[in-house]
Amino acid sequence: MPDIRSEIDALFVDYCAAIDDMELERWPELFCEDGLYKIISRENFDRGLPLATMLCESRRMMADRVVTMRQTQLYAPRHLRHIVGNIRVGDHGGGGEIAVRSNFLVLQTLLDRPTEIFSTGRYLDKLVRQDGRLMFSERICVFDTVIIPNSLIFPL
Amino acid sequence: MTAAISNRLDRSWPEQGHARVPYWVYTDPEVYRLEQERIFAGPSWSFVALACEIPNPGDFKRTDIGDRPVVVVRDDTGAITVVANRCAHRGVQFCQKDHGNTREFMCPYHQWTYDLRGNLIGVPFRRGVNKQGGMPEDFDPASHALQRLQVAERHGAIFASFDPAAPPFEQYLGASMLGYYDRVFDGRELRLLGYSRQRIPGNWKLMFENIKDPYHASLLHVFLVTFGLFRADQPSEVRMDETGRHSVLVSSRGEQKLNETTGAMKSFRQDFKLSDPRLLNPVKEFAGDATVVMQTLWPNLIIQQQSNTLAMRQMVTRGPAAFDLNWTFFGYADDSAEMTERRLRQANLMGPAGLVSIDDGEIMEFSQAGVTPYDDESGLLEMGGRDTEGVPHMVTEAAIRAFYKHYRLVMGI
């Protein structure tokens, strides 16, 4: 039985790999069925304003997002690279939820220009164990980079 | 000064008139300087805030008109003042917070202090120290206020103008555009839902062209087309004010079905279904058949009503080749919890990660990249003819032509 920290680490590595390696269809699978995924600016978050930049209220809504990324949206080809650190594991809540906070840095590389810092901020997560596997019941991405460099296509 | 700038503008518009847009309008730094002076600092009304962003006395918000930073503040009487964010002493941008509540504004450099109407109320060491120094005897604080702009407020939205010659706001919009404006801003109190901001690496006029161009919407936007949110086979119209500077695109939602028109759209996907349809669950909330009204107001605003998502899209210019698009999403104070939830879900369509609007941000970047090396070339605007009249359909570029007709008049080019 691995310790909780290395389980969390493995989940986060898997999350980053699903996006960075363009295995986007694996991304919703890291959430539970009624999981919440929200990208919200620090500006809105700090002021208690509810508007999200991206809001998925179920695994199916995330899967719909993936279909639009693959099939309906127009955007210049790019690669993302997620770097995650400063992972703080909080207390186990009632119902076995684990609260975890971490920092993220997302780098973006378009084909004809140098790599840029696309976004930085923090993840506010709630993790649960289902079918013997750790997964997200909630991931809220609060980004400091309030002025987004044009388009936010893929999950932070 | 104006003449000097004009003289440096050694450019002539293509002879086909407003059916062409020369590519140098998107790139020339002198054109940009002239736009700042004649358009953004000219007799126009720029959107600066919703009243619900600064509801209480002392509430302020920082924003920009063109590339000039301003501060919007509410005083004790409830009146709104808009001032340039530039100390009257040495030009320091005195306000650094994006919003807040204050009793006065103080420039940090020499602590010159202003009240909420921009009057200079404090100058440290004005009388000198130990009878030495100090301002001259005839120094009059009353003639060193912050630069105050003209302010217009209508039904919860605030506009400002650098030029005292700006006509009254209602007259500036004209009867027809005022009707569309009042459709969303009907006097009900608004509720701020939040902001989205993106920096688009393209010229600001590309944004207006995009929203004045219903032709592209039926082709570029697979999501809109597939779910019938805006499509050429639906009842639609394009209308302009008398000057051509403001316009609306109006349409009604249709179904996701294959017909002669959708068959001609490569972007129509009959097979694409949402596995969680809560994302698109619009309800009718405005009188009439229209389910989408996109209104462009010269020179910096798009009022977005698409299904139940309402937003002000404010453009802030960042040089010829970039602009910030600031989205302020809102609802009404009397919205039910369900309606607020619906607006927040539908916000997935719009903004920097919008299922629809991502396409536009990217296209504007591609446009800027495409035109930049070609000063001698020009864009073609002949869909729907070469005139500038409104039409009861969306297969037209007339609203873009009307925009450039007015643009050329204001710019003198």
Reported as a pLDDT band with limits 50, 70 and 90, residue A93 is: low
Given this model, what pLDDT does residue B272 score? 81
Given this model, what pLDDT does residue B4 score? 47
Instruction: Give me the residues of chain B with pLDDT under 70, please.
Output: 1-8
Phi, psi at B224, each rounded to 5°: -60, -45
Given this model, what pLDDT does residue B353 score? 97
Q: Which domain holds residue A54?
A: 4-143
Average pLDDT, chain A: 95
Condensed to tens digits (0 to 9), the pLDDT of residues B112-161 reads 999 999 999 999 999 999 999 999 999 999 999 999 999 999 999 999 99
Q: Which of B99, B267, B358 sits opposite A153 (nearest CB)?
A: B358
Query: How many domains does chain A fold into?
Result: 1
- The correct answer on CATH 2.102.10.10 for the domain covering B47-152 is yes
Nearest CA in chain A to B98: A43
Given this model, what pLDDT does residue A84 score? 98
Residue A43 lies in a domain: yes
Establish whether domains B47-152 and B175-411 are of one fold: no
Q: State the average pLDDT over residues A80-86.
A: 98
Residue A118 lies in a domain: yes
Residue A153 lies in a domain: no
Residue A124 lies in a domain: yes
CA B171 to each of CA B40, B131, B161, B178, B242: distance values in angstroms, whole numbers, following the listed order = 18, 55, 14, 9, 11
Residue A58 lies in a domain: yes
Nearest CA in chain B to A50: B193
CATH number at residue A42: 3.10.450.50
Residue A2 has pLDDT above 90, yes or no: no
Residue A154 lies in a domain: no
- Other CB atoms within a 10 A radius of the CB of residue B239 amount to 22
Condensed to tens digits (0 to 9), the pLDDT of residues A109-136 reads 999 899 999 999 999 999 999 989 999 9
Residue A89 lies in a domain: yes
Q: In terms of pLDDT, which residue wins out, A107 or A1?
A: A107
DSSP string over A97-145: -EEEEEEEEEEEEETTS--EEEEEEEEEEEEEEETTEEEEEEEEEEES-
Which residue ranges make up each domain of chain B?
47-152, 175-411
Shortest CA gap A109–chain B (Å): 15
Given this model, what pLDDT does residue A94 score? 66
Residue A131 lies in a domain: yes
Given this model, what pLDDT does residue B3 score? 47
Cβ contact B359–A73 (<8 Å): yes
- The correct answer on CATH 3.90.380.10 for the domain covering B175-411 is yes
Cβ contact A74–B226 (<8 Å): no
Given this model, what pLDDT does residue A1 score? 52
